[in-house]
Amino acid sequence: MAQLTLEKRYGKAAEVIKSLDLQINSGEFVVFVGPSGCGKSTLLRMIAGLEEISGGSMYIDGQYVNDDTPAERGIGMVFQSYALYPHMSVYQNMAFALELAGHPKQEIDQKVRDSARILQLEHLLERKPKLFLFDEPLSNLDASLRVQMRMEIATLHQRLGSTIIYVTHDQVEAMTLADRIVVLNKGNIEQVGTPLELYDHPANEFVAQFIGSPKMNLIPAILKRAGAEQSLVELDNGKELLLPIATPAEAEGQSVNLGIRPEHVQWGEQAECEYQGEVMFVEHMGNETYLYLDNGNAGEPWVVRNAERSPIAAGALVGIRLPAACCYLFDREGRAFRRLLPSAQH
């Protein structure tokens, strides 16, 4: 549907988009996700034709569109910064600024109707763009409206089968809406994959900590014994753990990071646990509980998610278990070693 090989520089400044290479299939819902400033809006504006492409090429349905105007590209876009009020009609939204400026009612009515005619809204409503672009359309809405609109957008996509590129920094929106997620960081693609591919097999620590909420805990360790089917790691407290993760022989002895998601950490008797820590504070969400543990390191506290209500209070000393099948492992550059998951989890 669309083939993007794009680069972007603003003037002489450093590259904002660095040789991005991406193929988007017809009817696909692709979500670009990444932290603020990573280049998401820039990318959408380049696709829409509102921002010049500094390098590379762009094809829509096999047609080279680099030099085409936004109208010629057949694209519809919802912008990040808009001032539309959801409780007002289109007419009221158009009239609002004029009302604030104190224009007489009759004049406002005339201007709104003239603008609507000039903008040919009826004609635009009937037009069916080839590609829809959404730039964080839900970020200004309150929580319940956001959930409702998320469902509306998913339903719309199912019904129309249109190709959508959707930008957000909300990983829940990315996970729930996307056929494929593109994780961006500082103008680079970190990884492209289905939501569950990214959750189960993040390519690196950045993706591992960006997808999933609260984010994955990372624990310093040493790779004691490498292997094609199992790897033995020694945690920073001296305990050893055998993981179903493939590591190459040359990585043996390397400092690594073991990753475990808050939802996979288990409680246990302190004596038989891989770790113990003091509970620093507890967050009760009603349906689940988050416990923050002091792990003895200077780094961030670990987060443990409990599906039930927990009687554990701040100050308690608890033992935690790290189920081997749920662990992730990253080399010293932060790249993931391959996890060997049972087929049901793939």
Ligand X SMILES: Nc1ncnc2c1ncn2[C@@H]1O[C@H](COP(=O)(O)OP(=O)(O)OP(=O)(O)O)[C@@H](O)[C@H]1O
Q: Which residue is nearest to Mg ion (CB)?
A: 41
Residue 36's binding partner among Mg ion, ligand X, none (Cβ under 5 to 8 angstroms by kind) is ligand X
Binding mask 141-170 for ligand X (x = CB under 6 A): ----------------------------x-
Shortest spacing between CB 4 and ligand X, in angstroms:
15
41 or 295, CB closer to ligand X?
41
- The DSSP bridge pattern shows strands 63-64 and 55-60 to be antiparallel
For Mg ion, which stretch binds (CB under 5 A), given 39-47, 216-224, 278-286, 301-309?
A: 39-47
Kindly state whether residue 171 participates in binding ligand X, applying the rule CB under 6 A: no
Binding mask 28-47 for ligand X (x = CB under 6 A): ------x-xxxxxxx-----
Shortest spacing between CB 21 and ligand X, in angstroms:
18
Q: Nearest Cα to 51, choosing from 7, 5, 18? A: 7
For Mg ion, which stretch binds (CB under 5 A), given 36-44, 196-204, 260-268, 285-293?
A: 36-44
Distance CA 260, CA 251 (A): 20
Residue 39's binding partner among Mg ion, ligand X, none (Cβ under 5 to 8 angstroms by kind) is ligand X
Contact 298, 170 (CB under 8 A): no
Shortest spacing between CB 68 and Mg ion, in angstroms:
23
Shortest spacing between CB 139 and ligand X, in angstroms:
8
Q: Which of 16, 34, 41, 221 binds Mg ion (CB under 5 A)?
A: 41
Contact positions vs ligand X (CB under 6 A): 10, 16, 34, 36-42, 80, 169
Binding site for Mg ion (CB under 5 A): 40-41, 80
